[in-house]
Structure 1
């Protein structure tokens, strides 16, 4: 019994020291920003890219009204390679906006499968205030105080009850072995060095050529039936959690209250064992999700169109 009690005292919650999602937090996913000077751009790409910059500019015009947290949930850029100089120069306007926002708001930028190698930016003091989350650290645990939850008799018990366990990720996780091998290869140091070298010897022309072609690849709305899709995703995240708990010797029996991810361009929510939120693609809908619109009692579509 003493051994068990000691083990329980030493065990940690998976969400211990997890950062908190603020009440006014907003989420932007899959904007697939395309540098406006890389013409010709698809019409939709030009409209969405201008809309993203306009939204950031609007926030910066009134810092006092800016959300205290902005979550950039991956694929914010359509082809941003963190270690490739010509790619960074091409995205200067987007990166400059993110840096300016970070002066007033807490920015979390989750690496996607179209914007990766972002850890290179962390070395630049200009981006020191931006929290870049590499794919290797996703999903990342957060907590959220749900003020809509009914109060219990004790204020202390009420606060405990309202604290929700949340996992955030871009979303390209738990898919299949083939994809995992591809994305892992793209993010190896050898591949990043190779791309950096190619960029250098071609004076940036190779990146520009590839980016112009990639910009014209179709970006489609997710068509998945939300209940069956969300159920599979919740199951995958729970399997991840149980494995993480074993590795960290954390407390067993912990549950996921909310999952928020992008990547699939669905823009819907579903309440199963957890509240699952598939963020809308800003590229397709110009929609921004507000955490205040989340509910643990009923499924709710994402909203806040810009």
Structure 2
């Protein structure tokens, strides 16, 4: 089981664009110990689009990729792939990578569930995401992109530039309540009780309590440069300032 240290930093949904230097500077601040951190957990969608099978995607994001690899040689770095980052194994070194899954972790005598959050979604959305995770489908799309001289990749990137990343969901507590039922069924299969769930994906920055389980949805770094420090089972929000 993954061990989460006191002082671990969580970051979610950076949606980092090549022309935006804020996340690079955040990583550098950790590397230079301006921000104290002994364990960094990246909860998915760290890049606007990063696909390990597309060289252009790696090239565009190389500066931040190299900084993550540099930092991973100094502290423990854990990366949850989201729905904007795929096939990361050949990109990062010394980084523990989890794909679309729920990961159980231990912290301060409590059991945590960690995930990007693109799970337990409506059936059609789940089906579409599963297609994108399919090795054959993604390999075909990457080949098609190569034949089109990266036109598909560039078009998706251009859409990301104008995408509104924060939308307040008025019914988010209801959405989470339904998700908790899915988590409950999942946990019963694994015969495990938990104390806390930490997710990204939704960009809402909300926390609730359901049947003694604390649920946290993290704010997106892309929205307010927020990151979260976990100490003694308390999750504290901070915002990175250059």
Q: What residue is the counterpart of 1:144 in the other structure?
A: 107
Q: Which has the higher strand share?
A: 2
Q: What residue is the counterpart of 2:71 in the other structure?
A: 101
Question: Stretches of 4+ moved more than 6 A in 1?
Answer: none
Q: Report the CA distance shift for 1:120/1:97 in structure 2 as closer, same or farther (over 3 A).
A: same
CA RMSD of aligned residues (A): 2.0
Q: What residue is the counterpart of 1:190 in the other structure?
A: 136
Shift of 1:67: 1.1
1:67 to 29, 32, 37: 37
Q: Is 1:261–2:199 an aligned residue pair?
A: yes
If the length of structure 1 is used for normalisation, what is the TM-score? Answer: 0.73
Query: Highest Rg: 1 or 2?
Result: 1
Q: Which has the higher helix share?
A: 1
Deviations 1:174-207 (A, max 9, x none): 0111011101111112122113313332343442
Shift of 1:293: 7.3
Q: Residue 85 of structure 1 contacts residue 199 of structure 1 at CA under 8 Å; is this kept in 2?
A: no
Residue correspondences, number: 239
1:231 to 165, 174, 177: 177
Gaps of 5+ in 1: 1-17, 37-48, 122-126, 146-162, 246-251
Q: Residue 208 of structure 2 contacts residue 214 of structure 2 at CA under 8 Å; is this kept in 1?
A: yes
Counterpart secondary structure, 1:291: strand
**Whole-Å Cα distance in 2 between the matches of residues 209 and 229 of structure 1?**
31
If the length of structure 2 is used for normalisation, what is the TM-score? Answer: 0.91
Q: Report the CA distance shift for 1:226/1:199 in structure 2 as closer, same or farther (over 3 A).
A: closer
Q: What residue is the counterpart of 1:201 in the other structure?
A: 147
Gaps of 5+ in 2: none
Counterpart secondary structure, 2:231: helix
Q: What residue is the counterpart of 1:154 in the other structure?
A: none
1:114 to 78, 81, 84: 84
